[in-house]
């Protein structure tokens, strides 16, 4: 039990004075980008600079749900690829990511919601993503715990059923990618804080850290909820982002009763049963920007009320843990993947809001291609920052997001 352990992602190494590429942020997107840079493009002289420890931020705070039932033509293919990559990554990394392909059920509580679901499903089917509209009775057959009676606050009209989605063990993805990247020679430097970015003639030349200067001409900032503040603070690029604290919690473990991810917009709540048996549930964000990652009694109460209405068998359960993370929300609910535009050699990947976990595999793959070739691959071209000044917002939501001051 007290044997000698070797870190899975290589021994601690000295920070070199120069790398071919530097990635700020040891989260899922940073690790995935480093992995694909090394694997697909042969760029192995890469340093990941992480202020805390890998998986400190959103990577370890999400509720591990994966799906590809987004709304617009640009987003669906990207999330589909991310979803398709889980079984492939499990093999490639030789690490069990525990992909539980249980399917997602989005509950609809009005005719208007059913109509919106029809449109989303049409988009999904056009892009080859399996998604169906089912009525309340069929939903009850899939998830017997559902309350489909008329006398709850928001009676269930039907649901959007998306079988390819499910749950992936988020820590396993962090560890698997870190091990996979370090096997190719990528260096992961934890407890290392980037403090400044130096440019010369509009090109990246080096970055400053608390452990010294690193020369590089390729830099990616991919620091999840902290990206926007870092990018503005160190590079001076302002982003259309609001950073909000989002909360989640788990109940005591139960015997298996819920074999789908169930979510409801009207109740503002989603729930799934983890492989340990806990009901993991979340969705609430405080409606003003902050970096606290604090949790609130207000929300535990809301969650208890919502869950016990649409899944009454959960009444009387105890919550065991509650936690929070950061979500960097954009006005169109779509991410920003850009680079080599404002400053040569400077790339950034942010604005995923609460979709950062489910997308990390595909985003890493395409950001790596972007960094290796200097040209944005077609898949992520539409996600550039300039779309906001060209008024080409993505329309991932029917209206601008409730959480931002925009509406």
Partner 1 sequence: MSLTITCPICGKRNGYEFRFGGEDKGPRPDEDSLTPQRWCEYVHLNECVAGVQKEWWVHKDGCGSWFTIHRDTVMNVEVAKPEADR
Piece of the chain touching partner 1 by CB under 8 A; list 87-95, 136-144, 200-208, 237-245? 237-245
Is residue 353 a contact residue for partner 1 (CB under 8 A)?
A: no
Of the pair 191, 406, the CB lying nearest partner 1 is at: 406
Q: For residues 243 and 45, is the Cβ–Cβ distance under 8 A?
A: no
What track of x and - describes contact with partner 1 for positions 273 through 292 (by CB under 8 A)? -------------xxxxxxx
What track of x and - describes contact with partner 1 for positions 375 through 404 (by CB under 8 A)? -------------xxxx-------------
Is residue 229 a contact residue for partner 1 (CB under 8 A)?
A: yes
Of the pair 126, 288, the CB lying nearest partner 1 is at: 288
Q: For residues 276 and 228, is the Cβ–Cβ distance under 8 A?
A: no
Q: For residues 379 and 78, is the Cβ–Cβ distance under 8 A?
A: yes
Is residue 235 a contact residue for partner 1 (CB under 8 A)?
A: no
Least gap, CB of 389 to partner 1 (angstroms): 4
Of the pair 176, 331, the CB lying nearest partner 1 is at: 331
Half-sphere exposure of 279 (CA within 13 A, CB side): 25
Is residue 149 a contact residue for partner 1 (CB under 8 A)?
A: no
Q: Which of 120, 209, 245, 264 binds partner 1 (CB under 8 A)?
A: 245
Q: Which of 19, 226, 348, 370 binds partner 1 (CB under 8 A)?
A: 226
Is residue 363 a contact residue for partner 1 (CB under 8 A)?
A: no
Q: Which pairs with CB-CB distance under 8 Å and at least 24 residues apart come from 276-281?
A: 277/253, 278/250, 278/251, 278/252, 278/253, 278/254, 278/320, 279/250, 279/251, 279/254, 279/307, 279/314, 279/317, 280/63, 280/64, 280/248, 280/249, 280/250, 281/63, 281/248, 281/249, 281/250, 281/251, 281/307
Spell out a b/e string for 269-283, using b for 16 or more CB atoms within 10 Å of the CB, else e: bbbbbbeeebbbbbb
**Binding residues for partner 1 restricted to 317-346, rule: CB under 8 A:** 328, 331
What track of x and - describes contact with partner 1 for positions 188 through 207 (by CB under 8 A)? --------------------
- Of 172, 186, 183, nearest to 59 by C-alpha is 172
In the beta sheet, which residues pair with residue 152? none
Least gap, CB of 29 to partner 1 (angstroms): 18
Is residue 53 a contact residue for partner 1 (CB under 8 A)?
A: no
**Binding residues for partner 1 restricted to 295-314, rule: CB under 8 A:** 296, 298
Of the pair 66, 333, the CB lying nearest partner 1 is at: 333
Rounded Cα distance, 235 and 331, in Å: 22
Of the pair 245, 349, the CB lying nearest partner 1 is at: 245
Rounded Cα distance, 363 and 116, in Å: 27
Rounded Cα distance, 11 and 199, in Å: 31
Rounded Cα distance, 370 and 257, in Å: 43
Q: Which of 69, 104, 209, 242 binds partner 1 (CB under 8 A)?
A: 242
> Which residue ranges make up the site for partner 1 (CB under 8 A)?
226, 228-229, 232, 238-243, 245, 286-292, 294, 296, 298, 328, 331, 388-391, 405-406
């Amino acid at each position: 039990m007290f044997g000698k352990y070797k870190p899975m992602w290589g021994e601690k190494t000295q920070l070199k004075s120069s790398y071919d590429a530097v990635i700020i942020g040891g989260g899922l997107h940073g690790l995935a980008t480093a992995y694909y840079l090394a694997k697909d493009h042969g760029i192995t002289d890469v340093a990941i600079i992480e202020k805390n420890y890998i998986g400190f931020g959103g990577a370890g705070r999400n509720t591990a749900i994966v799906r590809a039932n987004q709304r617009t033509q640009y987003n669906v293919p990207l999330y589909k690829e991310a979803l398709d990559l889980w079984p492939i990554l499990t093999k490639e990394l030789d690490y069990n990511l525990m992909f539980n392909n249980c399917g997602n059920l989005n509950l609809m509580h009005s005719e208007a919601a059913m109509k919106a679901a029809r449109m989303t499903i049409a988009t999904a089917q056009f892009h080859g993503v399996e998604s169906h509209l089912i009525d309340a009775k069929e939903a009850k057959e899939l998830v017997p715990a559902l309350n489909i009676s008329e006398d709850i606050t928001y009676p269930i009209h039907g649901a959007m059923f998306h079988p390819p989605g499910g749950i992936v063990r988020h820590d396993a993805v962090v560890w698997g990618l870190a091990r996979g990247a370090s096997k190719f020679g990528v260096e992961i430097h934890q407890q290392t804080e980037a403090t400044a970015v130096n440019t010369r003639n509009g090109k990246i030349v080096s970055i400053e850290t608390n452990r010294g200067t690193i020369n590089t001409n390729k830099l990616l900032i991919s620091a999840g909820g902290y990206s926007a503040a870092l990018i503005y603070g160190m590079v001076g690029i302002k982003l259309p982002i609001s950073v909000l604290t989002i909360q989640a919690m788990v109940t005591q473990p139960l015997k298996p009763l819920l074999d789908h991810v169930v979510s409801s917009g009207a109740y503002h709540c989603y729930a799934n049963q983890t492989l340990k048996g806990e009901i993991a549930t979340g969705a609430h964000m405080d409606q003003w920007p902050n970096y606290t990652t604090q949790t609130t009694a207000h929300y535990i109460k809301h969650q208890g009320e919502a869950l016990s209405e649409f899944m009454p068998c959960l009444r009387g359960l105890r919550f065991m843990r509650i936690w929070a993370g950061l979500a960097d929300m954009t006005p169109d609910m779509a991410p920003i993947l850009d680079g080599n535009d404002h400053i040569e050699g400077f790339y950034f990947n942010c604005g995923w809001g609460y979709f950062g976990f489910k997308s990390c595999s595909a985003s890493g793959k395409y950001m790596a291609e972007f960094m290796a070739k200097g040209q944005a691959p077609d898949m992520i071209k539409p996600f550039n920052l300039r779309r906001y000044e060209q008024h080409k917002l993505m329309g991932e939501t029917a209206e601008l997001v409730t959480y931002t001051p925009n509406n």
